[in-house]
Structure 1
Amino acid sequence: MNFTIKMLDVVALLENLPEPDLYRGQVGTVVDEYDAEFVEVEFSDLQNRTYALEALGKSQLMILHHSPLA
Structure 2
Amino acid sequence: MKQFDVVKITKDLPNESITKGQIGTILEVYDYKYFEVEICDSNGNTKYLGALSRDLLVVVV
TM-score bracket relative to the smaller structure: over 0.9
| 1:5-42 Cα deviation digits (max 9, x unpaired) | 11000001110100011011000000011111100100
Q: As a proportion of its length, which structure holds more helix?
A: 2
State the percentage of identical aligned residues. Answer: 34
Instruction: Tell me how far apart the structure 1 counterparts of residues 18 and 42 of structure 2 sit (CA, whole Å).
Output: 16
2: CA distance, partners of 1:16 / 1:26? 9
Query: Is residue 2:2 matched to residue 1:6?
Result: yes
Higher strand share: 2
Alignment of 1:33-44 (within 5 A): 33-44=29-40
CA distance in 2, matches of 1:46, 1:13: 16
Larger radius of gyration: 1
Aligned length: 61
**Is structure 2 residue 16 aligned with structure 1 residue 29?**
no
Shift of 1:59: 1.3
Q: What is the aligned-residue RMSD (CA, Å)? A: 0.7
Partner of 1:68: none
Superposed displacement of residue 50, structure 1: 0.6
Q: Once superposed, which parts of structure 1, at least 4 consecutive aligned residues long, lie more than 2 Å away?
A: none
TM value normalised by structure 2: 0.94
Which residue identity is paired with 1:42?
Answer: E
